[in-house]
Amino acid sequence: MATGGFSSRAPAGGPPPGRGVPGGRGRAPQRKVRRRRRNLDELEPTQLTTYTPSNAPVPEHEVIVERGCTPRELGPKLNRSAGDVIRFLFLQGEVVTATQSLSDEMIELFAAELGANVRLVDPGEEEEAELQARYLDLADDTEEEGDLRPRPPVVTVMGHVDHGKTLLLDRIRSANVAAGEAGGITQHIGAYQVETGGLPVTFIDTPGHEAFTAMRARGAEVTDVVVLVVAADDGVMPQTLEAISHAKAAGVPIVVAINKCDRPDADPDRVMQQLAERSLVPEAWGGDTIVCRVSALTGEGVPELLEQIALVAEVEELVASPEGRARGFVLEANLEIGRGPVATVVVQRGTLRVGDTVVAGAAWGKVKSLVDDRGEQVKEAPPSMPVQVLGFSEPPMAGDELRVTADLAKARTIGEARERRFRVAGHAPSPSIPGARLEDIFEQIQRGETATLNLVLKTDVQGSLEAITDSLRKLEREAVKLSFVHRGVGGITENDVQLAAASNATIIGFNVRPDRRARELAAERAVEVRAYEIIYKLIEDIESAMTGLLAPELEEVVTGEAEVRAVFRVPRVGAVAGCQVRDGVVTRGSRVRFLRDGVVLWKGTITSLKRFKDDVREVQAGFECGIGLSDFQDLKEGDVIETFEEREVARS
């Protein structure tokens, strides 16, 4: 083995270079370090706190800095070197290296020293912001006054579950939508455009079930007018109040439709009183809230409601520019067989056309087809028009903003940057956590462990996925935790079954079914698959399962109480309490508490129970008896012996 490459090093077994070996670097660096330390020690305290870096100008604009960046990354953003950052922090008592991540306080401290304005963002957000500014023309969001044209109003129908929202919209658009809804409730957002008096109006139907809070918030965010449907026979309910809050937060006008006025038990005046208590005073009572009495079943009052909507929309003077790159709002998204990712979008400005390259959240693609609410293909969608967009790389998240880009490469770059940010920020599906299925989880609880219920959740649309996830997370208890191994949109596939089998998970399907191969594999791998079509049944079943899986609580129930009247000493037995049963029944073998002046002195069991000289099994209230306790002899007159038993109480 050649050793020529080691000729300048110390002989084998000797000390390393630089530590007293001739030819090494010697002690000069050590002397420099000691001299530098002495110089620092000689500085006055005021000199240590004053630091003046190089004279390069500090950026006047806001500088975007990622959290956890290093001095090597921070310095150039502020026209400084990594050494400047390190020296400044060293003088502040922080010893860091050029590649060490800095805390938010360190970054802000250095920026404040320079007088720079920095904005801290999450990892990946800086890259995304730069790409958006470069490719999406975010600075060009202002619409010129000459380009503005009147646009149809976007009306969102909101209210409590089963108050007739979908039936009212069904009456307006003359289509039987409600008959197709599972369980008679709307499961996802529907968007339709109808002609009323020759003018198009876009209606958005939102679910009323409490699980769909986020959907109602999205509906209020994109709307111009909110139609609040309240049943005349039911009044203001929790989701009604929530809808009012969403509408007020969005700052949009509210038109109240008191539905089901044709019913015998209808009381519109009571509903108006309840609305007035929530600051929605009807115009008939001197307020500014438009209230219409309607019946979705008979059509009574519906024309008047449409007139009021048109009047409010006219007062709002709704305008938008049909020119330029389109921008829209994703209401819903799903994965359909044969069509791929499909997103329901309401265009807010510009005109969306077939062939446009778009990006929404982490999804990107080229618009292959636009389908209106009647199922017909259209070439373009102007402002306020709801359409289904086909051509995305994946279903976008409901609530994402849709933007048109210059070309497909830019859309893909932005989408991938957002996907990286979501992954870094932890927005990706949570990793698998060792757990158990429903049928195995009770054993974990009996062993005193915190049980984890693993779930694979598949739904038909993104909105349902969001609503079910939020609802199930609210069911967690200290003893039972939920872990979503995988969440997605689309049918239950073999991959889902294999993932569930590997992680001991239960598959929950909402409005989706497993195909034949997935069913066969699930039966082979003993994977439980539960399919639902109504959201509240899904939540009730999981809640019941989790409640049943919880270890039952043991509740102590007092069964009897006896007072010590005398104490007898029996050879080879010990002290025996002569008692009178004051309440309940005292039973041999019962567990007891021994109380003196209300203080528990001892817990144990009754070993012997006698009436006179006879052994008995129990003694009723009002009778005297002799009680022998297991291992307690400190008996005094006036003490109380309380018998109890532990009963299982179902936890909720």
* DSSP code at position 146: G
Q: CA 451, CA 357: separation in Å to the nearest integer?
A: 47
Residue 6 token pair = 């080691």
Same domain, 212 and 234: yes
Question: How many distinct structural domains can be found in the chain?
Answer: 5
Residue 259 lies inside a defined structural domain of this protein: yes
Q: E strands of 490-598, at which residues?
A: 506-510, 529-532, 553-570, 574-587, 591-596
Distance (Å, whole) CA 18 – CA 329: 67
Paired residues of 643 in beta bridges: 560, 592
Q: Is the per-residue pLDDT at 444 higher than 70?
A: no
Place of tokens 């420099």: 32
Q: What is the pLDDT of residue 433?
A: 39
How high is the pLDDT of residue 23?
A: 42
Beta-carbon count within 10 A of 517 CB = 11
Q: What percent of the chain clears pLDDT 90, i.e. is strictly above it?
A: 6
Is the pLDDT at 42 greater than 60? The verdict is no
Nearest to 614 by CA among 588, 636, 592, 593: 588
Q: Has residue 490 been placed in a domain?
A: yes
User: Which residue matches tokens 């005297």?
Assistant: 624
Which 3-state string (H, E, C) describes 601-618?
A: EEEEEEEEEEECCEECCE
Query: Each residue of 316-345: pLDDT tens digit?
Result: 888 888 888 888 888 888 888 788 888 888
Residue 238: per-residue pLDDT: 78
Confidence of residue 562 (pLDDT cuts 50, 70, 90): very high
> CATH code at 522?
3.40.50.10050
Name the residue type at position 613. Answer: K
Inter-residue contact 160 to 210 (CB < 8 Å): no
**179 and 311 assigned to the same domain:** yes
Q: Encoding tokens for residue 310?
A: 């048109």
Domain stops at, among 254, 287, 317: 317
Where would I find the H helices in 317-452?
408-425, 441-446
Greater pLDDT, 377 or 16: 377
Q: Which of 73, 66, 229, 67 is closest to 162 using CA atoms? A: 229
pLDDT band at 9 (very low <50, low <70, confident <90, very high): very low
Q: Does the CA dihedral 289-291-296-299 come out positive or negative?
A: negative
Handedness of CA 353, 354, 360, 364 (dihedral sign): negative
* Domain identity same for 277 and 301: yes
User: 602: burial class by Cβ within 10 Å (0-12, 13-18, 19+)?
Assistant: middle
What is the average pLDDT score of the chain? 76
Give the pLDDT band (50/70/90) at residue 31: low
Query: What is the pLDDT, as a whole number, of residue 368?
Result: 92
Q: What is the CATH number of the domain that holds 585?
A: 2.40.30.10
Q: Write out the DSSP string of 78-136.
A: TT--HHHHHHHHHHTT----TTSPPPHHHHHHHHHHHT--EEEE-TTHHHHHHHHHHHS
Separation between Cα atoms, residue 197 and residue 534, nearest integer Å: 36
Antiparallel, parallel or unpaired: β 591-596 and 386-392: unpaired
CATH of the domain at 230: 3.40.50.300
- Work out the pLDDT band at 632, boundaries 50, 70, 90: confident
When comparing pLDDT for 554 and 256, which is higher? Answer: 256
Please say if the pLDDT value at position 189 is more than 80: no
- The answer to whether 195 and 373 are in contact (CB under 8 A) is no
pLDDT-based confidence at residue 525 (cuts at 50, 70, 90) = confident
- pLDDT for 417 beyond 60: yes
Please report, for residues 103, 558, 625, the alpha-carbon distance to residue 622 in angstroms, rounded to integers and kept in the order given: 75, 17, 10
Which range among 12-16, 130-134, 602-606 has the greatest average pLDDT?
602-606
Is residue 24 one of the residues assigned to a domain? no
Alpha-carbon span 52 to 285, nearest angstrom: 69
Instruction: Give the tens place of pLDDT for each residue, 592-603.
Output: 888 887 777 888
CB 630 within 8 A of CB 604: yes
DSSP H or E stretch at residue 344: strand 340-349
What pLDDT sits at residue 144?
Answer: 45
Domain boundary among 121, 143, 165: 121
How confident is the model over 120-176, as pLDDT tens digits?
A: 877 656 656 666 655 565 434 444 444 778 888 888 888 887 777 878 887 887 644
Give residue 367's pLDDT: 92
How high is the pLDDT of residue 447?
55
Which residue from 423, 413, 433, 489 is spatially nearest to 457, judged by alpha carbons? 489
Q: What pLDDT digit, counting tens, does each position of 257-283 carry?
A: 888 888 888 888 888 888 888 888 888
Q: Judge if 193 and 311 occupy the same domain.
A: yes
In-domain check, residue 104: yes
- Residue 452 three-state SS: strand
Residues 261 and 179 in one domain: yes
Residue with tokens 């693993």: 454
Q: What is the mean pLDDT of residues 395-404?
A: 85
pLDDT, mean of residues 505-512: 85
Dig out the tokens for 204 from the structure: 């958005």
| 301-335 burial: b if 16+ Cβ within 10 Å, else e | bbeebbebbbebbeeeebebbbebbbbbbbbbbbb
226 and 295 inside one domain:
yes
Segment of 54-63, 200-209, 470-479 carrying the highest mean pLDDT:
470-479
Give the pLDDT mean for 457-474.
Answer: 81
Range of the domain at 262: 152-317
Q: Is residue 397 part of a domain?
A: yes
Q: How much is the pLDDT for 2?
A: 42
pLDDT, mean of residues 527-555: 73
Confidence band, pLDDT 50/70/90 cuts, at residue 200: confident
DSSP H helical segments within 174-225, as ranges? 213-222
pLDDT surpasses 80 at 305: yes
Considering the domain architecture, whether residues 113 and 217 belong to the same structural domain is answered as no
Residue 456 forms part of a structural domain = yes
Same domain? For 628 and 489 the reply is no
Residue at a domain's end among 393, 421, 449: 421
Query: Residue 445 has what pLDDT?
Result: 52
The string of DSSP codes covering 239-308 is HHHHHHHHHHHHT--EEEEEE-TTSTT--HHHHHHHHHHTT--BGGGTSSBEEEE--TTT-TTHHHHHHH
Angle at 601 between CA 596 and CA 606, to 5 degrees: 95
Determine the Cα–Cα distance for residues 532 and 236; give it in Å rounded to an integer.
29
**Distance between CA 294 and CA 308 in Å, rounded?**
12
pLDDT band at 526 (very low <50, low <70, confident <90, very high): confident
Measure the CA–CA gap between 387 and 376, rounded to whole angstroms. 10
Take residue 565 and report the two structure tokens written for it: 């009247």
Does some domain include residue 431?
no
Question: What is the SS3 assignment for 644?
Answer: strand
- Element of type H or E holding 357: strand 357-360
Same domain membership, residue 596 and residue 514: no
More confident residue, 16 or 457: 457
295 and 185 within one domain: yes
